[in-house]
Every structure is written in structure tokens, then in C-alpha cells.
């Protein structure tokens, strides 16, 4: 499997900048999720990697080989890529075996090798014994597995998956995510997976690239995205994170002293002196009787997963409710003070590219 590198890759459609100077490198064997809101450019990045779009600027490399950019362009069929689409794109009149064999015939494998390869991939995706069925005789999850088996069969350098679970119900989606993880570790292939669902990305990927407005906000491990967001957008997008504007007084050895309004806080983080953001999650909040960092008002409580989830409206976070478990019934309208026990301070600038270290 090659290392995949994008270097300042851009793509414009008419006067719309769909991809804007994206640079990233993913190691061999990674499971990368391209995550971002609708229209952020994820699918276009995937199509650029596949060779279905030509970049206007920058370059794409598989190891040291330029596949696009600098006047070079390797067509999709020469890139050794397997693609899995949301629609599965199976031939309805062909059997499962026929669907998988199709790509192998194009690849010039002999009949006996093809048969062995088909049985091998059917086993990998958990469909051994279903080779003679036609797509309409399969469930949605099984069809998705056939689509994956078909792309695995040619032993591609890279497997590209475009919202592959979008057509499945929530229960099946979860099961298929576990399947993707298993198949990824079994094959050792590099997977690039497009999704707008952060839970999906965090559950399945070894690395997540968060995109917004055609730009890469951050590339990091799921844990790092959650704990150490590089930009306010990432902080808010991942895990329903919150951000508060702060003034950074000093940052040293991974600790940062900030002023939140009139209060002095010492928090993990890394930011230049000046304006910045304190990023945190609801799980970082604790109720106190007095001296809280956030003054809130209880707007309601619901009993969920064995605890009373309490919706509080902090005056400091414009119109945005934070929900946290409290252990007693409290009347709506009650003032509640919260301390921020943990968080992450960043500068006010845009996102940066971090590698998970
Ligand atoms: P979604 O999650 O909705 O699929 P996305 O993040 O995958 O979104 P893209 O499909 O990459 O986003 O599209 C990025 C932007 O580029 C969108 O505003 C889209 O309308 C535009 N775009 C994509 N393909 C074309 C095209 N062929 N011609 C014109 N505009 C396009």
C-alpha cells in the first residue's frame, strides 16, 4: 500500500472553490475519514484521489509517484483504486460472484485465479456461500458487503468509500462500521471514507480529516480531535464541543493561563498571547454552589440512560444549551453555577494541520 499525499490541492467549479489548498499525508494502512458538513469538499477530495477530477493546482502522490499535478495525470483505471459508493452500483442481473468477477476479468486474471480470489473476498466480508445470489436476494448490509468485496478483489492500493452507509438504517450502520473495522485490519489496505457523520468517523477511522469550506481544518486521531481541536470549528463540530472567547496571558509547557471574562483560569493548551478560545465539552463541567465559571439557568431535565440529563442555558454561550447529568430534580429557572474542570486553549487563528502527535 502506498503512502497517500496531497500537497496544496485545489479544485474550482466555475466560480466556486470546492477544494482550497488541501495538504495531507496519510500513512500506509491508515483508515482515514474525510469528515465535514455538507458542501465542505469531501467528495471532491475523494474524486481527486480517484482521478475522477483533475486538480487545478497542487499535486497528489502515491508514495513518491505524482498521480496528478505538475502536468502529470494518471487515469483512474491505472491508479489501482477500489471504489465503494453509497448506491453500491451492483449489476442487478449478475450474481454476487458475477459482480465480483467483472473487475477481475478486466484485470486479466485467469478463470481459476478469479474463482479463488472471489471465494477469498467473500470469506473476508462474511458472505461465503452467498455467491450465487443476485443483489435483490440480499439485504442492504449484504449488498454493501458485495460492493466492498468487489473492490477488495482486485487488491487495490487504496479503497475509497463515499458515504457507503448512507442507505442503511441506524442499527445496520453500526454493524457495518464494525465490519469495516474488521475488514480493514484483516486486509491492511488503506481506506479513505467520506462521511458527514462525526460519530461514524470517530467510530471507524484511525485518522480523521475535518474539512470546512473546501479547506482542511485538522488531520488527527479521533482522540486528538476531541481533546485538542486545532480550530474553533473543529471544537464545535466534534462531540458537541463548546468554545468561549478568552484572553491568553501566558502559555508554557502545555499549560495556558487565560482570562475568561474577569476570571483567571489555568488550562491545558497552546496559544500565543492575545485573543483565543477555550474549548471544552459538557463532560468537563461540574456543578458548584458558588464561584462557578459559568452562570446558567436550568431550562429542563429529562431522564435518560439512568441519569437526569439537565439542560442549562449559560449566559456566556449565546443561546446554546449545555446538557449534563445532575442527580436531583430541580425546578426550571433555578440558577446553576458550573466550573470548567478541563478544556483546551487555542489561538484565534484558523485550523492547522496536526499529525496526532
Ligand atoms: P456532501 O456531504 O453534501 O456530499 P461534500 O463535502 O462531499 O458534500 P462536495 O460534493 O465535494 O462536498 O462539493 C463541494 C462543493 O462543490 C459543493 O458546493 C458542490 O455543490 C460543488 N460541486 C461539486 N461538484 C461539482 C460540479 N461537478 N460542478 C459544480 N459544482 C460542484
Q: Domain with 146 in it: what CATH number?
A: 3.40.50.300
Ligand 1 centroid, distance to 19 Cα (angstroms):
9
Name the domain boundary from 172, 192, 227.
Answer: 227
State whether 84 and 178 are in the same domain.
yes
From the alpha carbon of 40, which atom of ligand 1 is closest? 6
Given this model, what pLDDT does residue 48 score? Answer: 96
Contact (Cβ atoms closer than 8 angstroms) between residue 324 and residue 285: yes
State whether 253 and 204 are in the same domain.
no
- Rounded CA-CA distance 44/263 in Å is 45
- Rounded CA-CA distance 5/63 in Å is 7
Residues in the chain: 357
Residue nearest to atom 25 of ligand 1 (CA): 13
Residue nearest to atom 11 of ligand 1 (CA): 41
State whether 80 and 144 are in the same domain.
yes
Pocket test for ligand 1, best of 9, 11, 16 (most atoms within 8 A of CB): 16
- Is 352 among the domain residues? no
Ligand 1 centroid, distance to 86 Cα (angstroms):
15
Helices (H) and strands (E) in the chain, counts: 8, 21
User: What does the pLDDT profile of the chain (357 residues) look like in tens digits?
Assistant: 678 999 999 999 999 999 999 999 998 889 999 999 999 999 999 999 999 999 999 999 998 899 999 889 999 988 988 888 777 688 889 999 999 998 788 777 888 999 998 998 898 888 888 989 999 999 888 888 898 888 888 888 899 999 888 877 787 788 888 888 888 888 888 999 999 999 999 999 999 999 999 999 999 999 999 999 999 999 999 988 889 999 999 999 999 999 998 899 999 998 999 999 999 998 899 999 998 898 888 999 998 878 888 888 877 666 678 888 888 898 999 999 999 999 999 998 754 434 333
State whether 87 and 153 are in the same domain.
yes
Ligand 1 centroid, distance to 138 Cα (angstroms):
31
CA torsion through residues 184, 186, 189, 190, sign: positive
Contact (Cβ atoms closer than 8 angstroms) between residue 19 and residue 11: yes
Partners of 325 in beta bridges: 309
Burial class (CB within 10 angstroms; exposed 0-12, middle 13-18, buried 19+) of 314? buried
- Rounded CA-CA distance 108/121 in Å is 18
3-state secondary structure at position 45: helix
- Is 233 among the domain residues? no
- Is 299 among the domain residues? yes
Name the domain boundary from 227, 252, 287.
Answer: 227
Ligand 1 centroid, distance to 227 Cα (angstroms):
29
State whether 142 and 250 are in the same domain.
no
Of 246, 240, 237, 208, which is closest to residue 224 (Cα–Cα)? 208
From the alpha carbon of 46, which atom of ligand 1 is closest? 11
Given this model, what pLDDT does residue 357 score? Answer: 33
Given this model, what pLDDT does residue 319 score? Answer: 61
Name the domain boundary from 193, 227, 261.
Answer: 227
- Is 314 among the domain residues? yes
State whether 223 and 252 are in the same domain.
no
- Is 357 among the domain residues? no
State whether 203 and 252 are in the same domain.
no
Residue nearest to atom 27 of ligand 1 (CA): 13
Residue nearest to atom 9 of ligand 1 (CA): 41
Of 297, 278, 282, which is closest to residue 348 (Cα–Cα)? 278
State whether 220 and 126 are in the same domain.
yes
- Is 148 among the domain residues? yes
From the alpha carbon of 45, which atom of ligand 1 is closest? 11
State whether 178 and 87 are in the same domain.
yes
Given this model, what pLDDT does residue 250 score? Answer: 94
Binding-site residues, ligand 1, Cβ < 6 A: 13, 16, 18, 36, 38-44, 196
Gyration radius (Cα) of the chain, Å: 24
State whether 252 and 339 are in the same domain.
yes
Given this model, what pLDDT does residue 224 score? Answer: 95
Please count the CA atoms within 13 angstroms of the CA of 86 that sit on its side-chain side: 9
- Is 354 among the domain residues? no
- Is 263 among the domain residues? yes
Ligand 1 centroid, distance to 212 Cα (angstroms):
12
Pocket test for ligand 1, best of 20, 41, 166, 192 (most atoms within 8 A of CB): 41
Domain holding 263, by residue range, is 240-347
Ligand 1 centroid, distance to 35 Cα (angstroms):
14
| Mean confidence (pLDDT) of the chain | 88
- Rounded CA-CA distance 123/107 in Å is 21
Of 320, 304, 315, 354, which is closest to residue 338 (Cα–Cα)? 315
Ligand 1 centroid, distance to 16 Cα (angstroms):
9
Burial class (CB within 10 angstroms; exposed 0-12, middle 13-18, buried 19+) of 301? buried
Given this model, what pLDDT does residue 354 score? Answer: 40
State whether 263 and 324 are in the same domain.
yes
State whether 265 and 136 are in the same domain.
no
Domain count, the chain: 2
Partners of 265 in beta bridges: 258
- Rounded CA-CA distance 263/9 in Å is 43
CB count within 10 Å of CB 266 equals: 12
Ligand 1 centroid, distance to 44 Cα (angstroms):
6
Amino acid at each position: 500500500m502506498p503512502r497517500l499525499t496531497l500537497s496544496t490541492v485545489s479544485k474550482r467549479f466555475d466560480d466556486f472553490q470546492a477544494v482550497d489548498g488541501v495538504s495531507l499525508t496519510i500513512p500506509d494502512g491508515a483508515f482515514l475519514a474525510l469528515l465535514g458538513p455538507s458542501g465542505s469538499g469531501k467528495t471532491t477530495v475523494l474524486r481527486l484521489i480517484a482521478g475522477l477530477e483533475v486538480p487545478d493546482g497542487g499535486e497528489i502522490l502515491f508514495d513518491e509517484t505524482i498521480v496528478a499535478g505538475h502536468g502529470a495525470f494518471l487515469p483512474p483505471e491505472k491508479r489501482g483504486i477500489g471504489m465503494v459508493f453509497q448506491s453500491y452500483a451492483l449489476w442487478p442481473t449478475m450474481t454476487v460472484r458475477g459482480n465480483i468477477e467483472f473487475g477481475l476479468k478486466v484485470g486479466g486474471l485467469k478463470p481459476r485465479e478469479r474463482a479463488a480470489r472471489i471465494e477469498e473476498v467473500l470469506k473476508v466480508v462474511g458472505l461465503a456461500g452467498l455467491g450465487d445470489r443476485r443483489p435483490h436476494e440480499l439485504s442492504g448490509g449484504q449488498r454493501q458487503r458485495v460492493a466492498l468485496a468487489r473492490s477488495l478483489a482486485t487488491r487495490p492500493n487504496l479503497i475509497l468509500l463515499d458515504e457507503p452507509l448512507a442507505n442503511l438504517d441506524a442499527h445496520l450502520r453500526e454493524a457495518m462500521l464494525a465490519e469495516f473495522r474488521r475488514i480493514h485490519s484483516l486486509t491492511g489496505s488503506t481506506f479513505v471514507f467520506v462521511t458527514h457523520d462525526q460519530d461514524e468517523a470517530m467510530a471507524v477511522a484511525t485518522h480523521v480529516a475535518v474539512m470546512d469550506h473546501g479547506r482542511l481544518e485538522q488531520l488527527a486521531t479521533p482522540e486528538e480531535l476531541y481533546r485538542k481541536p486545532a480550530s474553533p470549528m473543529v471544537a464545535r463540530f466534534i462531540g458537541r464541543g463548546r468554545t468561549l472567547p478568552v484572553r491568553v496571558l501566558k502559555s508554557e509547557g502545555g499549560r495556558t493561563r487565560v482570562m475568561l471574562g474577569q476570571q483567571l483560569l489555568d488550562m491545558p493548551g497552546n496559544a500565543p498571547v492575545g485573543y483565543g478560545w477555550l474549548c471544552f465539552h459538557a463532560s468537563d463541567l461540574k456543578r458548584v454552589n458558588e464561584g462557578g465559571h459559568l452562570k446558567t439557568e436550568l431550562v429542563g431535565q429529562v431522564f435518560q440512560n439512568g441519569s437526569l440529563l439537565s439542560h442549562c442555558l449559560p449566559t456566556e454561550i449565546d443561546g446554546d444549551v449545555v446538557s449534563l447529568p445532575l442527580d436531583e430534580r430541580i425546578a426550571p429557572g433555578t440558577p446553576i453555577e458550573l466550573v470548567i474542570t478541563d478544556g483546551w486553549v487555542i489561538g484565534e487563528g484558523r485550523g492547522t494541520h496536526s499529525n496526532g502527535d
